[in-house]
Amino acid sequence: MIRDITIGQYYPVDSVLHRLDPRVKLNATLLFIISIFLYETFYGYIAVTIFLASIIMLSKVPLKFILKGLKAIIIILLFTSIFNLFLSKGDILFHIGFLKVTKQGLHSALFMGIRLTFLILGSSLMTFTTTPNQLTDGLERLLWPLRRIKVPVHEIAMMMSIALRFIPILLEETDKIMKAQMARGADFESGGVIKRAKGLVPLLVPLFVSAFRRANDLAMAMEARCYRGGEGRTKMKPLHYGRRDMIAYIILLVYFAGVIAIGIYEKYLPYFNFKL
């Protein structure tokens, strides 16, 4: 089941998007999310849709793979849309039993659905095209100024990358412990929620013990290799903005300015009766 969730996975192909600096992609995602929630206009959404579609094309990640990511959130999506549809106050359009559908409800249900879909598509596109390491590197550099207010930026980034390194190891270990406990008669599958939760104890305790042991070993290995925090450390793969990244920033700014302009001057554009 875990394998079905494609959000947050890296999709290894070689595209312009993959080669961009991770900082560009992080900033772009942030800007994109803001642009989705900025205005509720028809023309604005055309701009957003065109932008998203062209980025998906550029990324060379197959559309099918991207849409699979939506599967994980489809329930949340339906819930928000349905609640918006039936529970909004306003001018009543029609009734279904005791539920009434209002103009405003239809409107916000539609927009909420589109917004959430775009939000997921946009942010998962970032993880599809950026390796976890690049992502933590990018975050470290972007958050670097926060060190002034004593945020341990380097330490957080180091923790993230170590966590990423150990996820597969700990998964494997979980599997091993599970089999070992099953061989001794542990039952992880039958019973209700409470019984199952209780059944996890003989799995979690050894897992935690081993995780702490690993952490201890790793800390020692890191110290033995002269690790002493971020101070005076150089980078094997430092981040440098290239021409490509500058162009990407320019395109991004043009897009963002465009969305804002559409939002402001919408009333001068040919009237389209979308705002029911």
Partner 1 sequence: MEMIKVEDLAFEYIRRNEEGDVESINRAIDGVSLDVNKGDFIAIIGANGSGKSTLAKHINAILYPSEGTVWVNGLNTVKEENLWEIRRSAGMVFQNPDNQIIASVVEEDVGFGPENLGVPTEEIWERVETSLKAVGMLEYRAQSPNKLSGGQKQRVAIAGIMAMKPDCIVLDEPTAMLDPDGRKEVISTIQWLNQHEGITVLLITHHMDEVINADKVFVMEQGRIVMQGTPKELFSRIPEIKKYRLDVPQVTELAYELKKAGVDIPEGILFLDELVQALENLGA
> Of the candidates 14, 91, 150, 168, which one interacts with partner 1 according to CB under 8 A?
168
226 binds partner 1 (CB under 8 A): yes
Supply 262's token pair.
Answer: 């559409």
> Of the candidates 227, 241, 265, 274, which one interacts with partner 1 according to CB under 8 A?
227
Mask: binding to partner 1, 238-267, rule CB under 8 A, as x and -?
A: x-----------------------------
> Of the candidates 64, 184, 235, 243, which one interacts with partner 1 according to CB under 8 A?
235
Query: Closer CB to partner 1, residue 172 or residue 187?
Result: 172
220 binds partner 1 (CB under 8 A): yes
Helix (H, G, I), strand (E, B) or coil at 100: strand
Query: Closer CB to partner 1, residue 190 or residue 234?
Result: 234
What single-letter amino acid sits at 41? T
Alpha helices in the chain (DSSP H): 16-19, 22-38, 42-59, 63-71, 74-87, 103-129, 132-143, 153-183, 193-199, 201-224, 243-265
* Pair 88, 104: CB distance under 8 Å: yes
Number of residues interacting with partner 1: please give it, by CB under 8 A. 27
Query: Closer CB to partner 1, residue 192 or residue 238?
Result: 238
Helix (H, G, I), strand (E, B) or coil at 92: strand
CA distance 207 to 174: 7
Q: Which residues bind partner 1 (CB under 8 A)?
A: 132-133, 161-162, 164-165, 168-169, 214, 217-218, 220-228, 232-238
